[in-house]
Structure 1
Amino acid sequence: MKNLTQTFRNCVGAAALAALSVPALVPAVPAIAASPAETGRLDQAVTALRGISTMKADFIQTDRKGQTVRGTLTLKRPGRIRFQYEKSAQMLIVGDGKALTLVDYAVDQVQRWPISDSPLGALLDPRRDVAKFGKVLPTGNPDVISVEVRDKSHPEYGVITLIFTRKASAPGGLELTYWVALDSQNQRTTIALSNQRYGVPVTDSDFRWTDPRRKSRR
């Protein structure tokens, strides 16, 4: 359990992507000239993400050593996200649109940092024009779109690659199926989604959490 907890601490920024808080994406002209086809695919991905109002999904998080942990992802626009890990992990990640909070119930600790300072800042910070950081990567499959997102002016934010699969019932006709995050220390984390449910009831209370530090002070 100790090794698993340490793994989470090393890659928590990547996990919290979820990049799904990317509903703040706004179409823009990419920083690097792209072909009309690439620009079109990027616009499709942005439209798909913006089309999500609420979503719940199951996920499997895998680190570079192959260690995995499961959980449930809850999303509500704009910028609210919750990674509820399986009970044995004793971990929780919550994003309120301004900051990411890591709650480690194993050691009664809470870490909180601005989204702009996390590896996911380019995706999660609603104040930033994100689409200009995206670049479409070739996949060899017309039904799969891969978008690499990086902020070259802030390499410390890392790189995230989003993988979309065409699905008629998903917002915008594309479903985000998984993403790979690489932080500035080359720590690789993969989040694979399944059982995505869109437009489900999600309330603000879903993004509340119990502070373990209050218990430890007693």
Structure 2
Amino acid sequence: MFARPLAFTLLAAPALIAAAPAGELAQVQQHLQGVRSMTATFAQTDRTGRTLGGTLTLKQPGKIRFQYEKGVPQLIVADGRSLYFIDYQVRQVERWPIGSSPLGVLLNPKKDIAKFAKVLPTGDPRVVSVEVQDRAHPEYGRITLIFQKNASGPSGLMLQGWVALDSQNNRTTIRLSNQRFNAPVSDGTFRWNDPRQRNR
């Protein structure tokens, strides 16, 4: 079994329970509802300091693709129903539901984030930090989405990335750059080749 990146392991957490204030959280909700599609370059840094890069593509509802740089035999795709972790080196595929996941907030803009997220103080009026966590299940860790106030983004925000912590406080950071919103994205972007079929 391959080791999934922590930031994506947290995608598969069950239903979340918490309360959160309005204000900036409402602005985040409006931003998410205004993002019909997004592309960006991502850099993923794990607890050892290893960094991998690639391209993120998102399309509502429920589609996302993390295409790693050349030489990394992994792919992460959500097709609107399920989230897949694909390792082409060992020809393994893992499937998870996306409906109740923390990053499901990005994949379902109709989800009321006030039910399971809270705004964290940042000390910088230009930055909005939103933490998503199932307090009843700390073993699932937590994920914090980071937004920058930017007039060029939907509802004046731009997603800069997120930080994931597991139950042992191992940290994985995703940083985004070159964000572009609401350009046409083909559904074919979220298709993938199943490596298990080669064994048949």
Q: Segments of 4+ in structure 1 off by > 4 A? A: 14-17, 124-128
Alignment partner of 2:6 out of 4, 8, 11: 11
Aligned-pair CA distance for 1:98: 2.6
Extract unaligned runs of 5+ from structure 1: 18-29
SS of 2:184's partner is coil
Structure 1 residues 145 and 163, CA gap change in structure 2 (3 angstroms)? same
- Write the mapping of 1:49-128 to structure 2, written as runs, cut at 5 A: 49-115=32-98, 120=102, 123=105, 126=108
Which deviations, in whole Å up to 9, do the C-alpha atoms of 1:15-70 show, x marking residues without a partner?
Answer: 769xxxxxxxxxxxx725x4xxxx21111111112210011100000111111100
Percent identity among equivalent residues? 56
Q: Distance in 2 between matches of 1:140 and 1:121?
A: 24
Structure 1 residues 103 and 147, CA gap change in structure 2 (3 angstroms)? same
Structure 1 residues 61 and 15, CA gap change in structure 2 (3 angstroms)? farther
Do structure 1's residue 31 and structure 2's residue 14 form an aligned pair?
no
- The structure with the greater share of residues assigned to helix is 1
Q: What TM-score, normalized by structure 1, do the two folds share?
A: 0.79
Alignment partner of 2:115 out of 128, 132, 136: 132
Q: Is the 8 A contact 2:19 2:118 kept in 1?
A: no
Extract unaligned runs of 5+ from structure 2: 13-17
Structure 1 residues 162 and 47, CA gap change in structure 2 (3 angstroms)? same
Q: What TM-score, normalized by structure 2, do the two folds share?
A: 0.86
Which deviations, in whole Å up to 9, do the C-alpha atoms of 1:156-186 show, x marking residues without a partner?
Answer: 4321111111111110100010110123343
Which deviations, in whole Å up to 9, do the C-alpha atoms of 1:129-160 show, x marking residues without a partner?
Answer: 43221111111111111111112233343211
Aligned residue pair count: 194
Structure 1 residues 87 and 108, CA gap change in structure 2 (3 angstroms)? same
Q: Is the 8 A contact 1:15 1:189 kept in 2?
A: no
